[in-house]
Structure 1
Amino acid sequence: MNLDMSVVVKYIPFLLEATFLTIKISVLAIAVSIIVGFVFAMFKLSQYKVLNKLSDLYVEIIRGVPLLVQLYLLYFGLPQLGIELSAFVASVLGLGLYAGSYVAEIFRGSIQSIPKGQMEAARSLGMSYFQAMRKVILPQAFRYSLPPMGNQLIITVKNSSLCSIITANELMHSTSRFASVNFAFLEFLLVASAIYLILTYAISLMVKYMEKKLSV
């Protein structure tokens, strides 16, 4: 076996630049997923059946279609309708909307895990429904949702590798390009694997730290 890691050394700055883009895409995507997920979680918990059905429809469709197909639709499909997105924007939207379907269920489950008596107690103190949600229910639900949200962030970072298919110049795209030029696929893939492992492990440590700080 001929393994020459020295061929990777001169490409490290470019791989780190691509890693930064991977982090940027993942962070923005998880921000989109939090917004979208919270909205559809509220729809699901609403007393209006139309909003309930809309939330169910979103979750079922997004979960039922592979992420790669959704990225293709955003990047290659929308231009046929006159809507052109850059690879970066398509990546953020694709990952964000996909993760949002899971985040919606995370938020819904976390909110429903809070005893109903707490909402009733808050309302009896004169709080409106929205005040009770903001000051009593959501802070507790956030703490409960932290571990699965951490897992979702890790999944989003790993899913970002699919964005290489739509030419987003993130870590996997750069790795594939440099590996094919130098005919050193094993070397570059080992380095990329190490970088992904470092990213996901750092996220795990961050989530554990936040759990510890927020523990009662």
Structure 2
Amino acid sequence: MISIFQNYGGELLQGFGQTLLCSVIALFFSLIIGSMFAIFETTPIKFLRVIARIYIEVFRNIPLLVITMFFFVVIPMFVVKIGGFTAGTIGLTIYTSAFIAETVRAGIQSVDPGQMEGARANGLSFWQAMRYIVLPQAFRYVIPPLGNQFINLVKNSSVLAFVAGFDLMYQGNVIASDSLSTMSTYMCVGVLYLVITMPLSYWMRHLEKKLAS
């Protein structure tokens, strides 16, 4: 492992940076999109509920690689040319947002319905009550499953390796082919993934305990 880091440290760090960047972007946007569709699922407006259900069921049941390849191959053919990193990040965002939507929806439904009724009785609109009353409580309930989704997102970012996204897994494949030290290379890759996921896991547990106190 040490020799791999010594000889290919630059490539590994580049891949680590790409993986971290992709994960942060996808995490941010998937949380926003997922929360939006979770709200749509609980809104009184039937049209929005149907749209949310279709979005969630479609993207939860299509493999991440298929979604990513659609943006990498099909979109450039008919719409606009995008690179592997962008295609992978978009695919990862859409895929993860569908799971986050279900997680946040469960949190919303765990909040006492009387909270929404009380807010509406005091003059707040549905959207205002959701924003100021229901969602803050819902997120307290779903910190653990959201943490799992975030960690899965980081691991799923390895999909960039299939679309030349120059992420950590892509660099690992290149180094393994060049160095012929397959085991050591993928051990290094695994360690670098842990550098991202372990602090995230610890931070989510800390946040859960802090909110519970």
**TM-score w.r.t. structure 2 length?**
0.94
Q: Whole-Å Cα distance in 1 between the matches of residues 111 and 126 of structure 2?
A: 15
Aligned 8 A contact 1:119 1:137 in 2: yes
Structure 1 residue 5, shift from structure 2 partner:
4.3
Partner of 2:188: 191
- Any gaps of 5 or more consecutive residues in structure 2? none
SS of 2:44's equivalent?
coil
**For 1:105, which of 102, 105, 127 is the aligned residue?**
102
1:89 to 83, 86, 89: 86
Shift of 1:14: 2.4
Query: What SS class does the counterpart of residue 95 from structure 2 fall into?
Result: helix
Q: 1:29 to 1:186 in 2, by over 3 A?
A: same
Cα shift readout 1:37-83 (whole Å, capped 9, x = no counterpart): 12211221122222222111111111221111111110011122132
What SS is found at the alignment partner of 1:75?
Answer: helix
Structure 1 unpaired stretches of 5+: none
In the alignment, which residue of structure 2 is the partner of 1:60? 57
Task: For 1:202 and 1:176, locate their aligned partners in 2 and report how far apart those are by CA, in whole Å.
Answer: 25
Q: C-alpha displacement at 1:157, in angstroms?
A: 0.5
Partner of 2:25: 28
Question: Do the aligned partners of residues 46 and 162 (structure 1) sit closer, same or farther apart at CA in structure 2, a change above 3 Å counting?
Answer: same
SS where residue 161 of structure 2 aligns?
helix
**Which residue among 118, 121, 125 is the counterpart of 1:121?**
118
Root mean square deviation of aligned Cα: 1.5
Q: How far did 1:124 drift?
A: 3.0
Q: 1:121 to 1:48 in 2, by over 3 A?
A: closer
**Normalising by structure 1, what TM-score?**
0.92
CA–CA distance in structure 1, aligned partners of residues 154 and 36 of structure 2: 23
Query: Which residue is 2:138 aligned to?
Result: 141
Q: Give the CA deviation at 1:113.
A: 0.4
The change in CA–CA distance for 1:200 and 1:7 in structure 2 (over 3 A counts) is closer
- How many residues end up aligned between the 2 structures? 213
